[in-house]
């Protein structure tokens, strides 16, 4: 230690010196080791020492940790636990299994009745090379992100995707430049809104010197200097990579990045931040919706998960109460790398979110392959988009709290009925199960059926459209302008509270307001009529607040 001080090697040497005491959970002795040799560290490492000591000596959080058992783990290696956000499937990387395809393979397990089933080989075309490792899965479960050295790779390790179809998984697709390069890229993962891709790379230009991964011994290992980056989806492809900055990245290695569906909480492994040795899992929160370089100071998730060895692959579930992680030869394991589940301590929890799941079908109940989009009703901005499962039409979306959202399914030739969820005042996790039924435009013309315009908002007893109504009406206007032969009737409806005459007048004025908006948006005036029915046509005859809310509505139907 004295010979190498001050240098990164001195810090690594002290971590190795403390290895056994940490392994034996003798936290006081481990803390004393760091205190004793702190003077030999570099200045930036000396600043990290108090945080390491605090982690070693603070009261241990009460969490439970469980090996996932024989259905998942074997005597050979299982790591990279990758749960789908809906909690139905767990993907993983394995090696040496007798039912594998050779080398490293991707396996998966399905959850039924609260238990994980026996892990299965995902098979071809994914497991078709010598080494396939899984990094992440998209929020809708339809895209797998993998990394490896496959045919056509630009460099040592590249990021690939596999898309789910109605009949299985497509052949791996190589992600383009500038995501992949001649250097080492991995940990690809899409944000829950489908607009950004997080990944890691050892390319030059990061924080600190360029040190390729796996080439030389650096900071006590061969991880090199790897940083976390993000690229943003544009109409032309992808933006230039953005380094997440010096709060996240250090002159050493940051790998195994995972952005939670809350869009704010980043989990990653690092051997450059404070920790117990090797790579430790840390958590940081994005501080601005408009910046990818402003982050909170990373927090080590604790000595119950992290060890003196390299730790990575930590992924909390959507609700933030359970996490999956891999550990090497942990006490009570099956051997080699095993996958574990753990409850999450307070300092490691992500932000709360709202989740919505259901199925998109046509009027006859047939599943549809459709796009799911959601928008901020206050700004008219489409803030996220994903896809339904092409096999069965199911969908799953996760929404950060704090906004008033409209969400809808979209498919060519169909009219989409929108839904609304107002999360501006919500503080806790919310889950909604709700199906979406799409109606063919042809059927609208022929059936004389009334379709609700759901995301229309008025103040009580008023008929001035609130701005949150505009995105929904803009979509209807677009359909009418594309199909100029469609003539429609806009109908207004109220509940049964109040005088009949007042209700009739209010419903007429609200229908008129919608008609006027559509005309101002470029629709043919002569093709749109409006009428108010007051309380005459309730859709729910119960005398409850919920029923009355359903009856207060605006609808349209095609007329001849």
Going residue by residue through the chain (560 aa), what tens digit of pLDDT does each one get?
Answer: 788 778 778 878 888 899 999 989 999 999 999 999 888 888 877 888 899 999 999 998 889 999 999 999 999 999 999 999 999 999 999 998 988 888 899 999 999 999 999 999 999 999 986 788 999 999 999 999 999 888 788 988 999 999 999 999 999 999 999 999 999 999 999 999 999 999 999 999 999 999 999 999 898 889 999 999 999 999 889 999 999 999 999 999 999 999 999 999 999 999 999 999 889 999 999 999 999 999 999 999 999 999 988 898 999 999 999 999 999 888 888 989 999 999 999 999 999 999 999 999 998 999 999 999 999 999 989 999 999 999 999 999 999 999 999 999 999 989 888 999 999 999 999 999 999 999 898 888 788 889 899 999 999 999 999 999 999 999 999 999 988 888 999 999 999 999 999 999 999 999 999 999 999 999 999 999 999 999 999 999 999 999 999 999 999 999 98
Sort strands 371-376 and 404-410 into parallel, antiparallel or unpaired. Answer: antiparallel
Q: What's the confidence (pLDDT) of residue 60?
A: 86
Q: Write out the DSSP string of 461-474.
A: T--PPPGGGHHHHH
Whether the CB-CB separation of 276 and 310 falls below 8 Å is answered with: no
Q: Which residues contact 123 (CB under 8 A, 6 or more apart)?
A: 101
Instruction: Tell me the whole-structure pTM to 2 decimals.
Output: 0.92
**Cα–Cα distance for residue pair 418/437, rounded to 1 Å:** 10
Residue 326: count of CB within 10 angstroms of its CB = 23
Q: What's the confidence (pLDDT) of residue 444?
A: 81
Q: What's the confidence (pLDDT) of residue 8?
A: 77
Radius of gyration of the chain (CA): 28
Q: Which of 284, 319, 321 is nearest to 398 (CA)?
A: 319
Phi and psi torsions of 5, nearest 5°: -85, 150
* Strand partners of residue 184: 157
**Cα–Cα distance for residue pair 170/423, rounded to 1 Å:** 36
Q: What's the confidence (pLDDT) of residue 43?
A: 80
Q: What's the confidence (pLDDT) of residue 3?
A: 80
Q: What's the confidence (pLDDT) of residue 150?
A: 82
Q: What's the confidence (pLDDT) of residue 284?
A: 98
Collapsed DSSP state (helix, strand, coil) of residue 144: strand
Q: What's the confidence (pLDDT) of residue 130?
A: 72
Q: How many angstroms from the chain centroid is the CA of residue 273?
A: 25
């Amino acid at each position: 230690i004295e010979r190498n001080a001050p240098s990164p090697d001195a810090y690594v040497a002290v971590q190795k010196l403390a290895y056994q005491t940490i392994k034996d959970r003798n936290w006081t002795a481990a803390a004393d080791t760091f205190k004793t040799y702190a003077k030999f560290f570099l200045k930036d490492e000396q600043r990290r020492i108090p945080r390491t000591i605090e982690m070693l000596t603070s009261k241990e959080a009460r969490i439970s940790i469980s090996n996932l058992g024989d259905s998942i783990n074997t005597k050979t290696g299982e790591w990279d636990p990758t749960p789908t956000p809906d909690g139905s499937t767990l993907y993983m990387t394995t090696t040496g299994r007798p039912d594998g395809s050779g080398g490293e393979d991707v396996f998966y397990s399905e959850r039924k009745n609260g238990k994980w089933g026996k892990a299965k080989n995902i098979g071809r075309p994914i497991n078709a090379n010598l080494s396939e490792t899984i990094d992440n899965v998209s929020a809708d479960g339809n895209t797998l992100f993998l990394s490896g050295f496959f045919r056509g790779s630009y460099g040592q390790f590249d990021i690939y995707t596999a898309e789910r179809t109605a009949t299985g998984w497509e052949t791996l697709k190589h992600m383009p430049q500038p995501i992949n390069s001649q250097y080492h890229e991995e940990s690809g993962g899409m944000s829950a809104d489908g607009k950004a891709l997080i990944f890691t790379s050892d390319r030059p230009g990061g924080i600190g010197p360029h040190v390729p991964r796996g080439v030389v011994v650096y900071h006590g290992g061969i991880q090199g200097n790897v940083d976390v980056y993000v690229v943003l989806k544009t109409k032309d492809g992808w933006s230039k990579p953005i380094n997440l900055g010096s709060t996240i990245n250090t002159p050493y290695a940051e790998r195994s990045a995972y952005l939670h569906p809350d869009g704010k909480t980043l989990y990653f492994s690092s051997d450059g931040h404070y920790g117990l040795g090797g790579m430790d899992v840390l958590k940081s929160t994005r501080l601005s919706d408009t910046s990818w370089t402003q982050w909170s100071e990373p927090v080590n998730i604790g000595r119950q998960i992290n060890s003196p060895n390299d730790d990575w692959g930590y992924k909390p579930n959507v609700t933030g109460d359970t996490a999956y992680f891999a550990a090497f030869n942990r006490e009570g394991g099956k051997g080699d790398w095993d996958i574990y589940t753990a409850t999450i301590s307070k300092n490691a929890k992500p932000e709360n979110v709202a989740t919505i799941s259901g199925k998109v079908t046509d009027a006859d109940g047939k599943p549809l392959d459709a796009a799911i989009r959601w928008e901020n009703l206050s700004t008219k901005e489409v803030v996220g988009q994903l896809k339904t499962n092409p096999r069965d039409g199911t969908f799953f979306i996760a929404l950060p709290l704090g906004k008033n959202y409209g969400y809808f399914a979209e498919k060519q030739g169909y009219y989409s009925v929108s839904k609304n969820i107002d999360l501006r005042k919500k503080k806790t996790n919310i889950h909604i199960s709700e199906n979406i039924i799409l109606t063919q435009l042809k059927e609208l013309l022929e059936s004389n059926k009334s379709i609700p315009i759901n995301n229309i908002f008025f103040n009580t007893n008023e008929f001035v459209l609130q701005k949150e109504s505009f995105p929904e009406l803009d979509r209807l206007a677009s359909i009418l302008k594309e199909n100029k032969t469609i003539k429609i009737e806009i109908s207004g409806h109220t509940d049964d509270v109040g005088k009949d005459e007042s209700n009739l007048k209010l419903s007429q004025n609200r229908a008129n307001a919608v008609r006027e908006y559509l005309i101002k948006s470029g629709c043919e005036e002569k093709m749109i009529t409006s009428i108010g029915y007051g309380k005459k046509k309730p859709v729910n005859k119960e005398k409850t607040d919920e029923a009355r809310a359903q009856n207060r509505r605006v609808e349209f139907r095609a007329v001849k």
